Structure 1
Amino acid sequence: LFGARAALIGGCIGTSNTLAGQMFDVPVYGTAAHSFTMAFAHETDAFRAFVRTFPEHAILLIDTYDTLEGARRAAALGPAVRGVRLDGGDLLALSRAVREILDAAGLPRALIVASGDLNEERITALAAAGAPIDLYGVGTDLATSRDAPALGGVYKLVAIEAGGERRAVRKLGAEKATYPEPKQVYRRRGPDGRFTEDLVALASETLAGEPLLVAAIRGGEPCGPAPGLAEIRARARAQIEALPPGVRRLEQADAHPVRITPALHELAERLHPERT
C-alpha cells in the first residue's frame, strides 16, 4: 500500500492497487490476469466479457496464447478497446508488430501497455530503440530494490548536555567516523536554477542556500499540518527536475557535490585525539 504511495511520489501516474487508489485519491490502472482469459473457452469470449465490464477502460491482455493473434482478436472488437497489454517476450519486436495490427484495424489511438519484470534499464533501452509503447507497468523492481535490498544506517551521538553544559562529541574509526554537533544542510542552485552543491554545516551556521532539515515533531507533537500527496508529488518532481543532467544520467552518472563547511571541519579536527 505504501509502496504504491512512494511510487506515486516518485513520478508514477497511477497504481494497480485499488485500495491505494481509494485511500490516496489517485488514478487506478490495470488489466485482466492471464487466469481471467484462461477461464473462458475462447480468448475472444474473455475479451468481450472484459470490454462489457469495463466499456471505457478496457486494456486487453493479449499474450496468454499467441500474442499477434491476440492483437488481431482485440482489434476486431473495434473502438471499445482502449488498448492492449504485453506481459513479456521481445517487447520491442512485439510492440512494433502489434502497433501495425492496431493501426491497420483503424485503431491508431489504442494504447500499448508493457509489463513483465521491467526496470529502469529495460525501459530506457526500449524507449531509445523507439518501441511504440505508451505505458509501462512496473511492479517488483519498483516496490523492492534488487541491487540494494537494505539501507544501511547508524545512530551516533553528536553532543552531550549535562549539568547545564554541552560538549560536542564525535566517533572515529574506519568507514564510520562522524562529525560532531547538530547540523543543517544547505542546497545551492546555479543561475539556471539547477542544484550545484550541498553544504553540510553546523546548525548554528546561517548560509546561502535552501536549508533542507526542517523540524517535523517537537516534544512528541507535530510542528504543523502534514502536506498532502499532491503537494509532496509536486515537490519531488521539482527537485528531480532541478538535478543537473549528468547527475540524472542512468549510466556513469556524475556525483552530486557535497561539502563540509570550514567551521564544521575545524570543530571535528579539534576533537581528534591526535590533534589535541
Structure 2
Amino acid sequence: MAGLRRSVLPARSGGPEAARPPQYQAPQYAAPQHPAQNPPAQYQPAQYQPHAAGPVPPSSGMSGCAKVALVAGGVLLVLGVVVVVAVVLGVRWLGNQASDFVEPGSCEITSDAVVSEALGTPITLEKGTGLGGLVSGIIDDRVLSDAPSCWGSASGEDSGALLVRVAVVRGGDAAARFQAEVKQAKGVVVSSTDDGEGTSTTVETSPYYGTAVEGIGDEAFCTSLGLTGTVGILVRSGDDLVYASAGGTPDGTATDLLDETAGCERARKLASAVLAG
C-alpha cells in the first residue's frame, strides 16, 4: 500500500529463550530467631488459706459459774421471802384461831397481866391440860407436852400474831425430868432393826435442842425454831419446871420471826415473869 512504511524489527539474538521476559525471584528472608520459651504452666487456682485465729480477748463479763450462782442466789432470796411471809400469815391465823382449839376457862398457872407485861402486848390466856387434835403442831408442845398448860394469843386485830404457851410442873424429881427433856430434845432412837445382812435401820426423833441458857433458874435450855416460828425455854428452879414458848413478834412483823436468838430471849422473859409471879 502506498504511503505505508513497514518497519521490521531485528530479531534478538539467542533464540526463543531470549525472547522471554526476565524472571525475578522473591528475596529470601531468614526467619527471625526468638529465644526459646518454656511452655506456659498449667493454670492452678489459688489455694484458700484461712486466717489464723487471733488471741482470745480476756473475758470482761462474769463466768458461767458466777452467773449460775447469781441466779441461784436470787431464787433462794425469793423463796426465803415467801417462807417468811407464809409463816407470818400462818402465825397470825393461828393466833386468831387458838382459842377455838383449847379448853375454855381462865388460866390457873399465871395471869394475863403477867404474860402481857413480859411480852409487851396484851395477851389473853386460855387453860388446857395437854395437847390433842388440832392443837398438836400448832402451839409448841415439844417440851412438857403432858403438863398443865395455858395457851395465849395476842388480843385484838392490830396487836400482832403472837402465840404463847406456858406449862408448869411442880414437885417430884424436877432435876431428873429436866435431864430427860434435854435428852429428848437432842434426839433419841425410837427403834433400830437389823436385816441380818449387815444393814440396820434406825429411827430417831427430830432434835430441837437449841442452846443452854444461864442466868435463870438452876438450869435452862432454849429450843430451836419450831414449825410455826416458836422458840421455847425450859427452866428448872428447885423442884419447879417451867416451859414458856412464844412465836411471832408482838407487832406482827417478821423482824425477828426467824431469829432463834431473839426468840429465846423473848421466851426467857416470859419464863422469868411466870417464875416470879
Quickly name the TM-score band, shorter chain normalised.
Answer: under 0.3
Give TM-score, length-normalised by structure 2: 0.21
Name the larger-Rg structure. Answer: 2
Q: Per chain length, whose mean CA-contact separation is higher, i.e. which structure has more relative contact order (CA < 8 Å, sep 6+)?
A: 2
Q: Which has the larger share of strand?
A: 2
Give TM-score, length-normalised by structure 1: 0.21
Q: Which has the larger share of helix?
A: 1
